[in-house]
Structure 1
Amino acid sequence: MNPYQSFKERVRREVSIDSYINRFVPLRRMGRNLVGICPFHNEKTPSFNVNAEGGFYHCFGCKASGDLFRFVMDYQKVDFLKSLEILSEYSGIPLVERTKEEEESERKKEALFQISQKALEYFQKNLNTAAGELALKYLESRGLYAEDLKVFKIGFGLPGFGNLRAELFKTEAEVKLGEQLGLLKRQDQNKDPYDFFRSRIMFPVIDTRGRVVAFSGRILGESEEAKYINSPNSLIYDKSRTFYNLNLSQDSIRKTREAVIVEGVFDAIGLFRKGIEFVVAPLGTGFTEGHVRILKNMADKVYLMMDSDKAGTKGAFRAVNLLSKEGVVVKVCHIPEGKDPFDYSLHHNKQEIRDLLEGALPASQFMIREILGGTGPTSLAEEKQAGVKKLFEFLKPMEKETDKQVYLEEGARQLGLSFSSLFQDFRGKPGVSSTPSVVDTKKDRTPEKPGKLSPVLICERKMIAMLIQNLELFSFADDLLSLEFRDEVSAFFWDYLYTKYLQNENLTAAEILSREEIPSEYLGMIAEHFSADVSVTPATFKAMFLYHADLLDDARMEELVKEMAKPDLTIEEKNNLLSELSLLKSEKNKRSVYLRTIQTLEV
């Protein structure tokens, strides 16, 4: 059991979500809810709704949703444990005592943060020494001056192997902390530790709460050593989930819902200085699934501005693949003349860089171009065949049929081939109709199309919203099990809720909205269908089932009418279609009678 569960339940009982949020977001009453200007995106007309009775909020503009704890985390930019501490201090409700292991882990982290901060101040001070003069001249030659050094907290690691220990690490315990952070290294345990960062420009990696968690060091001058070296993973630093410059760019990313990803620290600094403030860079490990999870909660669109060399192209390909799988819109920028983003930023203004972003290639166009390796309409037949083979190998692992169609269409365009022929070969069904069916026939689920929600999709989301707000409606579980959801969002929630139901977890709407394992965009899509009047009768819920069945039958009857209009049907085929149409109409009439009956009983 979550050791903080009793604390969370007490906070939900005793702390009014509207009174807490009203401290930061002015709210006014509108019906049962309170509304205000959303704090998570720019808007002029209030679309941020707080349901005090249900204990949750939802923005109909940016789809941000959650409970009181999620609001504290997102608005005050803290992690879950810190949100508990903030609410404990605000409410006067004590947190449960941490275990000895948790207390020890927190003490270790705090000690590491303190050492990292001391190291930062030491590196910054070094720039003003005689030994740091060469580093200052190098930075000035790259176009970085005093104000830049202050904003990005840039420093210098002195030449020599024993500077850090002499200045910072006075005890053996501190030496061990320095080793954990990668500031000190040992060749073996019988020898003294030595400075890891030597003769290097030091760029601190700072988390979203302003704490130094790691460093990236660039060699000064020519050397056989690596140009850049980075801190290793530690108790306070996970390179697969950390971005350089996110501390400065986080507000701009949330505001614009856009992010630019570059390869290195200089690239991020260059774009940020020119007003592209939503720029970040992964360090050491390249782009990972952990980075995707961080970004997708902050941005809807990501621009990749990688170096033009082979390594940069490979990194961009991997990043596009990971981001596209999570539904993030991705575009890839081509920098003219083979420059890197930093060099480009030195000679171009904000609007010119913005124009470069606007002209970026869609993800599908970039990836297919790289897969085909220059093969095009004028290539030899053998080269096209090899390109088609590479394309098919790339597409086979994809889960979504719609993604496959997008890439097949782009592949056909770049190769100068017929899409229908390419599709038939991919399916292994030569000679089939040239109109492909890319729908998952088992579930026939509808992907999300903003602004174009079908009646079936809306109905299914309303049923899920009713279920979340009224768990007693799980008495209809058997009926829901027989229902094949057409909407992938509703299907996800039903699977999730039914699993929790079988595990005897009675989750409130607020608790569900705070679950990190549920994609945030899914939460928003369902939360917008929550009702201010949370009570739903069994009859109302049953009526939704009937309405859903009617919608499906209406769609099928339209198909039957179109099929019957075909001129080449046999009499037997027409009779079969008429029989099915008659049966569907009869079922609709029965449902109408039953619906009137339960509505009368409810009144």
Structure 2
Amino acid sequence: MSLPPGFIDEIRTRLSLTQVVGRKVMWDARKSNQGKGDMWAPCPFHHEKTASFHVDDRKGYYYCFGCQAKGDAISFVRETENVSFMEAVEILAGEAGMQMPARDPRAQEKSDRRTLLAEVMEQAVQHFRLQLKTGGASAARDYLDRRGLSTAAQDRWEIGFAPDAWQGLWDALKAKGVEDDLILGAGLGKPSQKGGKPYDTFRGRIMFPIRDARGRCTAFGGRAMDPNDNAKYLNSPETELFDKGRSLYNHGPARTAAGKKGQPLIVAEGYMDVIALAEAGFGASVAPLGTAITEHQLAMLWRVADEPIIALDGDTAGLRAAMRLIDLALPALEAGKSLRFALMPEGQDPDDLLKSQGAGALQKLLDEAVPMVRLLWQRETEGRVFDSPERKAALDKNLRDKIKLIKDPSIRQHYGQEIKDLRWDLFRAKRAPAQRSGGWQPSKGKRGGSWQEPPTPMPSTKSSALAAGDEQVTAHLREMVILASLICSPTIAEDFESGLETLACADPDHAVLRDMILRHAHAGPEVLRENILNALGPDALDNLMGSRHVALVPCIRTPGDADTARMTVAEELAKINAAKGLDAEIADAVQDLEGVADEGVTWRLSQAAAAAANASQTSKEDSAEYDTGENGARMSKSERDAFASLMDQITFSKPGR
């Protein structure tokens, strides 16, 4: 409906924002100046200890310097009461003593009907509570006693009982003059399929009223007393008052406990879990009414707390529910809005844990609740073996697909970093360090052998080319070019992950640089360099980049040239692998020649030699255009000749020549 001009302004004139907000906060007397309408309080929208929530009465505006919540009286009521715009206006108009303007007849009729249905639900609450005190409810009272619910607790939660009678509630409501369509519309009765009298929806059940954020009873949950009943728990059908996917059990009191008392918001599975949690001091507890959490319920949770803790049962169903929730939450993640998961011990729910070990054990689980990214990793890796490149690639693809669901680029980047670290811990931890005795070591008495890197040199000699043979020097220089190229162009590192993981670095500093690239290259050059400096200090990076043969590499002279860097790294890796392959074949052939030699030995050697030659062909195929300097760098003949010609001109142009 449309409101007449000036109606909302009149509400704002009659009600001060301080008055509206004051119902939900405790003002900080030291910071506030009531005379000027300048008020401060801890924010009702997020947990904090300091007063960062500011209300300016003169402007009719509030703002939180902690969570950036802002708005006026209407937006405040909407957020704190979880109501629509028109409902917020109606609440404020009632407080201001103003009559709401006439609505569209059909809208007014719908509103009036909802009011009548809410009144019928309150009558049902009172009826069920009275029935719990009768002789026919002794078994229900015994059950509640066994669950540890005192009479006072039963009254606090307004727990009742529906006798096992077909028309018990129906007859009671009809005796009070309630019309049939209101009983049916409230979901309290069902029409007979045989043309008879309508019958009660709930029979032979312990009854739990379900109230919305404003405290109105909109539905019931019933726990069957008959152990053979197919439906252990039964909720009201969806009605004009009740939308199961947009409702939370204990929503209003939990919001108050989370906002005013700073308690963590706990999401359990059922009514009894919530009641047990609240009675044990965890008042900010809710349940999604026996269904998987919906997108609307997730938004409601985040309006109450930035990081709700999902405390699900420690069984297969509870774990499956947590995993489904991850897929729902990933696209909706925002900065500061996430979920944490506290999985109960196997076979227990929060109520069981509280009874067996007490509130301290539950608090410990809540304190140790894991962030969502860890549960995502657990889902994709638990019980699986990644003993092949194909399986590792499948894991990477699955995780990338999940991370792509995150819309916020900053959160997506942090998820990628966390997954990278977890992947590193999983795969690198399983790779045993090489026994460094140096060179190819043939196996005794059998074919083959293994490549072993040389021992770690002393600090005074490890950078000296004289400390190693020609082949080792060449491999060492190639490693330096690879590492320097990737540090200057880290965006290409992902293309060479498998090659880097198998790159055997004799120099321990090179091994650290390789590991830093694998872990942090995707975060960008600045983050990568910062981690290298933290791990090795500035000298290692300066020594690498300052080496003469590294400084002359084109992609090093122009950092960020990804295409050139990609070709350089691919070429150098191919040369290193080809050289290793040739060495392995030679060692294998030595073993074979001790036995009966055949043409297969010479053929394998020729193939390995050809592969090594092809790998190094790039540096030789244009030898007519390049010369190799004393330091091993390639020099363009045309550029060198032009430079020599220029020097000759300068020399002959000097006076006296």
TM-score scaled to structure 2, two decimals? 0.60
2: distance between equivalents of 1:356 and 1:20? 37
Equivalent in 88, 97, 102 of residue 97 of structure 1: 102
**Contact residue 153 and residue 204 of structure 1 kept, 8 A:** yes
Equivalenced residues, count = 456
| Residue range with higher mean Cα deviation, 17-26 or 288-297 | 17-26
Query: Residues 296-330 of structure 1: CA distance to partner in whole angstroms, max 9, x if unpaired?
Result: 11101211111122221111122234345333232
Question: Which residue in the other structure is 2:273 paired with?
Answer: 267
Question: Structure 1 residues 565 and 126 mapped into 2: Cα distance closer, same or farther (>3 Å)?
Answer: farther
Give 1:257-406 correspondences, 5 Å limit: 258-324=264-330, 325-327=332-334, 328-375=337-384, 384=392, 387-399=395-407, 400=409, 401-402=412-413, 404-406=415-417
Query: Residues 350-390 of structure 1: CA distance to partner in whole angstroms, max 9, x if unpaired?
Result: 3321111111222111121122232367x677765654454
2: distance between equivalents of 1:386 and 1:74? 43
Question: Structure 1 residues 145 and 221 mapped into 2: Cα distance closer, same or farther (>3 Å)?
Answer: farther
2: distance between equivalents of 1:576 and 1:237? 65
Question: Structure 1 residues 140 and 14 mapped into 2: Cα distance closer, same or farther (>3 Å)?
Answer: closer
Question: Which residue in the other structure is 1:232 paired with?
Answer: 237
- 3-state SS, counterpart of residue 239 of structure 2: coil
**Contact residue 259 and residue 301 of structure 1 kept, 8 A:** yes
**Contact residue 205 and residue 225 of structure 2 kept, 8 A:** yes
Give 1:430-469 correspondences, 5 Å limit: 434=518, 435-437=520-522
Question: Structure 1 residues 314 and 6 mapped into 2: Cα distance closer, same or farther (>3 Å)?
Answer: farther
1: distance between equivalents of 2:144 and 2:362? 22
Q: CA offset at residue 415 of structure 1?
A: 3.6
**Contact residue 69 and residue 83 of structure 1 kept, 8 A:** yes
Question: Which residue in the other structure is 2:423 paired with?
Answer: 412
- 3-state SS, counterpart of residue 294 of structure 1: helix
Give 1:119-158 correspondences, 5 Å limit: 119-158=124-163
Query: Residues 14-53 of structure 1: CA distance to partner in whole angstroms, max 9, x if unpaired?
Result: 7654576579856844999823223626767543323345
Alignment identity in percent?
28
Q: CA offset at residue 137 of structure 1?
A: 1.1
Question: Structure 1 residues 566 and 351 mapped into 2: Cα distance closer, same or farther (>3 Å)?
Answer: farther
Question: Which residue in the other structure is 1:38 paired with?
Answer: 42
Question: Which residue in the other structure is 1:488 paired with?
Answer: none
Letter aligned with residue 320 of structure 1: I
- 3-state SS, counterpart of residue 317 of structure 1: helix
- 3-state SS, counterpart of residue 339 of structure 2: strand
**Contact residue 551 and residue 557 of structure 2 kept, 8 A:** no
1: distance between equivalents of 2:22 and 2:215? 26
**Contact residue 493 and residue 522 of structure 2 kept, 8 A:** no
2: distance between equivalents of 1:393 and 1:574? 33
- 3-state SS, counterpart of residue 357 of structure 2: coil
**Contact residue 41 and residue 52 of structure 2 kept, 8 A:** yes
Question: Which residue in the other structure is 1:241 paired with?
Answer: 246
2: distance between equivalents of 1:267 and 1:312? 13
1: distance between equivalents of 2:326 and 2:289? 17
**Contact residue 424 and residue 430 of structure 1 kept, 8 A:** no
Question: Which residue in the other structure is 1:8 paired with?
Answer: 8
**Contact residue 262 and residue 305 of structure 1 kept, 8 A:** yes
Give 5+ residue unaligned stretches, structure 2. 431-482, 501-516, 525-544, 560-657
Question: Structure 1 residues 571 and 249 mapped into 2: Cα distance closer, same or farther (>3 Å)?
Answer: closer
Question: Structure 1 residues 436 and 141 mapped into 2: Cα distance closer, same or farther (>3 Å)?
Answer: same
Structure whose alpha-carbon radius of gyration is higher: 2
Question: Structure 1 residues 281 and 38 mapped into 2: Cα distance closer, same or farther (>3 Å)?
Answer: same
1: distance between equivalents of 2:184 and 2:13? 46
Letter aligned with residue 64 of structure 2: C
Query: Residues 250-287 of structure 1: CA distance to partner in whole angstroms, max 9, x if unpaired?
Result: 21122326311111111111111111111110014320
Query: Residues 514-538 of structure 1: CA distance to partner in whole angstroms, max 9, x if unpaired?
Result: xxxxxxxxxxxxxxxxxxxxxxxxx
**Contact residue 160 and residue 198 of structure 1 kept, 8 A:** yes
Question: Structure 1 residues 372 and 426 mapped into 2: Cα distance closer, same or farther (>3 Å)?
Answer: farther
Query: Residues 161-190 of structure 1: CA distance to partner in whole angstroms, max 9, x if unpaired?
Result: 121221113599722222223221235373
**Contact residue 81 and residue 213 of structure 2 kept, 8 A:** no
2: distance between equivalents of 1:178 and 1:235? 12
Give 5+ residue unaligned stretches, structure 1. 440-563, 578-603
Q: CA RMSD in A?
A: 4.1
Tell me: higher relative CO, structure 1 or 2? Use CA pairs within 8 A at least 6 residues apart: 1
Pair 1:190 & 2:195 matched: yes
Q: CA offset at residue 345 of structure 1?
A: 1.4
**Contact residue 7 and residue 94 of structure 1 kept, 8 A:** no
**Contact residue 261 and residue 302 of structure 1 kept, 8 A:** yes
- 3-state SS, counterpart of residue 132 of structure 1: helix
2: distance between equivalents of 1:407 and 1:63? 27
- 3-state SS, counterpart of residue 308 of structure 2: strand
**Contact residue 233 and residue 239 of structure 1 kept, 8 A:** yes
2: distance between equivalents of 1:113 and 1:193? 20
Question: Which residue in the other structure is 1:531 paired with?
Answer: none
1: distance between equivalents of 2:371 and 2:402? 17
